[in-house]
Amino acid sequence: MFKVKVFVTLKEGVLDPQGKAIQQSLASLSYDEVEEVRVGKYIELMVEQREELEKRINEMCDQLLANPVIEDYYYEIEEAVR
Amino acid sequence: MFKVKVFVTLKEGVLDPQGKAIQQSLASLSYDEVEEVRVGKYIELMVEQREELEKRINEMCDQLLANPVIEDYYYEIEEAVR
C-alpha cells in the first residue's frame, strides 16, 4: 500500500481571488507581513500496489484531480503504514 | 522573504464526502486500486522576515487558515527565491 500526496496549485499568472481574500483577512488581523497567498489542493490517496503506478497517478491527475488548463500538480509517493 | 507551505487536512475520523466522491469517480475511470482519498488545502504564503515568524504563522493557521475543530495543519518554511 502506498500513500500518494498530490499537490495541485494554480498556474503562474492565473488570478487567485481566494488567495487575495485570505491575504486581506490576514492583513486585517495585523499580519501584514504576508505579501502573497496562493491556495491549492492537497489530496492524499491510499493506493494498492499496481503495475505502472506512476503512469496511472499521472493519468488520475490529468483526468480528474487537476484542471490542466489552469492548474499544475506534483506528487510524492511513500510506503503507507497501515 | 520566506515561502511558507501550509498543509491543512481533515482530522482523523472526520467524514470526507469530497474525498469519497473523488474515490468513486476514480473507480468509475477504472482506477479501483485507490482505496481512500482525503482532500485538504495547500496554501502558499510569501512572508517578509519578521520577529517570532513561527509563532505568527501558528496564529494565522489557528485564527484563519485552518478550522481547529475539524482540521489539522502543518507547515514548511523555506527561503523564497524572488
Per-domain boundaries in chain A: 2-79
* pLDDT one-digit tens code per residue, A11-28: 999 999 999 999 999 999
Report the pLDDT value the prediction gives residue B80, as an integer from 0 to 100. Answer: 85
Say whether pLDDT at A60 is over 80: yes
CATH number of B2-79: 3.30.1280.10
Residue A80 at interface with chain B, using a CB cutoff of 8 Å: no
ipTM of this model? 0.87
For residue B81, name the pLDDT band (cuts at 50, 70, 90): confident
Alpha carbon of residue A82 to chain centroid: 24
* Chain B, window 28-67: residues with a beta carbon less than 8 angstroms from a chain A beta carbon: 29, 31, 33-50, 56, 59-60, 63-65
A62's grid cell: 490529468
